[in-house]
Amino acid sequence: MHPDLDALIDICADYGIGHVVLAGGLPTVASLGRIKATGARVLAFAPTLAFARRLARSGVDGVIVEGMEAGGHIGPVSTSILSQEILPCLDGTPVFVAGGIGRGQAIAGYLRMGAAGVQLGTRFVCATESVAHPNFKASLIRASARDAQPSVQLDPRFPVIPVRAITNKASRDFLDKQFDVIRRHDSGELGVKAAQLEIEHFWSGALRRAVVDGDIEHGSLMAGQSVGMVTAEQPTAEIIDTLVHEAVSSLAQHS
């Protein structure tokens, strides 16, 4: 097991963490067993049905299906397609749906399709309790769905993991950076590894720059397409009340 993961599991055990969410790969039997031995439940992201089935067989307590409408790191497939592919085919393991949910009616829709629950990120970034910088919150409140775009990869030789964020100076500078790195690689100035590293390093610390320092030009303004439905700073309880009310009304209307 990776020593960092081992240390993280110790921290979760010390704090009595109830649920651990794993992203970015299939957990090993050893790490899953270690986490479960702390008493925590384990959830993991599944980008495909085959992956979801492997996770279910490996003994995770729940699977999260996140579509490309979401804020932050994303895959290539939409929430609506992933939900249709995975929800009817994964008996016995609870599936949570994430990505692009801004209203309770959408929650009701996914619950009707068989979801055990949903995960929302963007809708809560501007909660009063959120420690995000006021500049960051204001950017989200101003933005509409079409402002939340995935980062662009210019050259298949230098892969970019797509991140959905509000377009700003940093996202435009990222294109210039890639142009520059590709030019220097093609002229023999940079090796493949060094070129890839330069591209990857561009965004390092960028979320912190935006969320903590409030630098909305040079930081990463991670947000999903539901950002257009974030129109004000609101207490978390109010956001949840609204979502629950919308979901319950929708379920009652269509029962």
Residues that bind ligand FMN (CB under 6 A): 23, 66, 69-72, 98-101, 119-123, 125, 222-224, 226
Owner of token pair 């399709």: 113
Question: Which residue's Cβ lies closest to ligand FMN?
Answer: 121
CB of 130 to ligand FMN, least distance (A): 9
Residue with smaller CB distance to ligand FMN, 66 or 190? 66
Residue with smaller CB distance to ligand FMN, 145 or 154? 145
Who contacts 168 (Cβ-Cβ below 8 Å, separation ≥6)? 139, 216, 217, 219, 221
CB of 121 to ligand FMN, least distance (A): 2
Q: How many CB atoms lie within 10 A of CB 63?
A: 22
CB of 38 to ligand FMN, least distance (A): 20
User: CA separation (Å) from 81 to 47, 77, 144?
Assistant: 11, 7, 23
Side-chain-side CA neighbours of residue 207 (13 Å): 9
CB of 155 to ligand FMN, least distance (A): 26
Residue with smaller CB distance to ligand FMN, 128 or 191? 128
Residue with smaller CB distance to ligand FMN, 157 or 208? 208
CB of 144 to ligand FMN, least distance (A): 14
Contacts 24+ apart (CB under 8 A), 113-117: 113/83, 113/84, 113/87, 113/88, 114/87, 114/88, 115/83, 115/87, 116/62
Residue with smaller CB distance to ligand FMN, 70 or 143? 70
Residue with smaller CB distance to ligand FMN, 35 or 181? 35
Who contacts 59 (Cβ-Cβ below 8 Å, separation ≥6)? 32, 36
Q: In the chain, what's the furthest Cα-to-Cα distance?
A: 65
Residue with smaller CB distance to ligand FMN, 79 or 93? 79
CB of 128 to ligand FMN, least distance (A): 16
Who contacts 95 (Cβ-Cβ below 8 Å, separation ≥6)? 52, 62, 63, 64, 65, 86, 87, 114, 115, 116
CB of 43 to ligand FMN, least distance (A): 10
